[in-house]
Amino acid sequence: MAGDRLLQTMSILVLTLSLVALTALLYDIWSDGWSRLDWAFLTSMPSRRASSAGIYPAILGSLYVLLVTATFALPLGIGAAVYLEEYGGGGRIARLIEINIANLAGVPSIIYGLLGLGIFVRAFGWGPSILSGGATLGLLALPVVILSTREALRTVPMSAREGSYALGATKWQTIWHQVLPSALPGILTGLILAMSRAIGETAPLITIGALAYIDFTPSGVMSPFTVLPIQVYNWVSKPQVAFAENAAAGIIVLLVLLLSMNAVAIVLRDRFHKARV
């Protein structure tokens, strides 16, 4: 009995500690960065003077890269998931692909950066551009998109498919008109989760050669770029305190972006749930 209490107390202590760590992290960043956060910071170019430096190109860069990432990862990921869940049927090739995807999910993100550097930046000649960065993160997000989409497809009851077949629908008609619509909220939630992970990625983009100092707005997908986390990294690695404040303010922007994406995911999911019930 005493042991029970000890075990429980220790566990609660551990969980409280992780809660404290999270709170300390958020509080530390808030108190460092809050005073730097204003309209000028959001709309200015970076600068060698910490007090006039802004984060505008990094915000744009992050959004552009995310757009390219989604363009790569969504169709490929959903297509692969539909094949494995609805067509693959446990064949030998399907199993091989499944093992492969599970392995890809465990590859460190910086290795994807080396892949992007070797293939997109050099072999394809895209250079350290938004296109290269987005494609690299697209491949990185692929396993997450596939796994979450498959999970969503699995929640659709077999009877929905059988009913559709009974009415004479073909396989694809069944998938397109029955399975995908009812799995949509789950798929969307997974997608947004994958994208919110991609927006915080730093290492692969540094590896493909994204620049830390960009004082112009990106002009298109072939433009050099920076993203929020790289800008934050750049500021953190400077010794002056003023740049650390910029980094904290940049982190707040990044976290707000992340939180709003997650909020959108939750709202979407709830709306679809209501629509279906």
Partner 1 sequence: MTLGTRRKVEWLIERALFACAAGSVLVTAGIIGVLVFETYEFFREVPIRGFLFGTVWTPLFYDAQFGVLPLVSGTILVSLIAMLVAMPTGLLSAIYLSEYAPSRVRRVVKPVLEVLAGVPTVVFGYFALLFVTPLLQRVFPDLALFNALSPGLVMGIMILPLVSSLSEDALHAVPNGLREGAYALGATKMQAALRVVVPAALSGISASFILAMSRAIGETMIVAIAAGQQPRLTANPMNSVETMTAYIVQVSMGDTPAGSIAFRTIFAVGMLLFLMTFALNLVSDWLRRRFREQYS
| Residues from 121 through 140 that contact partner 1 (CB under 8 A) | 122, 139
Closer of 75 and 157 to partner 1 (Cβ):
75
User: Among 38, 43, 52, 79, which residue interacts with partner 1 (rule: CB under 8 A)?
Assistant: 79
Amino acid at 221: V
Residue pair 35/208 in contact by the 8 Å Cβ criterion: no
Partners of 224 in beta bridges: 129
- 186 near partner 1, rule: CB under 8 A: no
Q: CA 241 to CA 275: how far, in whole Å? A: 51
- 104 near partner 1, rule: CB under 8 A: yes
- 19 near partner 1, rule: CB under 8 A: yes
Closer of 206 and 221 to partner 1 (Cβ):
206
- 91 near partner 1, rule: CB under 8 A: no
- 114 near partner 1, rule: CB under 8 A: yes
Q: What angle do CA 107, 260, 58 make, to 5 degrees?
A: 65
- 200 near partner 1, rule: CB under 8 A: yes
Q: Which of residues 149-178 bind partner 1 (CB under 8 A)?
A: 170-172
Q: Which of residues 22-61 bind partner 1 (CB under 8 A)?
A: 22, 24-25, 28-29, 32
Residues contacting partner 1: total by CB under 8 A: 85
User: Among 191, 206, 214, 221, which residue interacts with partner 1 (rule: CB under 8 A)?
Assistant: 206
User: Among 147, 152, 191, 232, which residue interacts with partner 1 (rule: CB under 8 A)?
Assistant: 232
Ordered DSSP codes for 193-229:
HHHHHHHT--HHHHHTT--S---S---STTSB---HH
Which region among 38-46, 63-71, 88-96, 179-187 touches partner 1 (by CB under 8 A)?
88-96
- 115 near partner 1, rule: CB under 8 A: yes
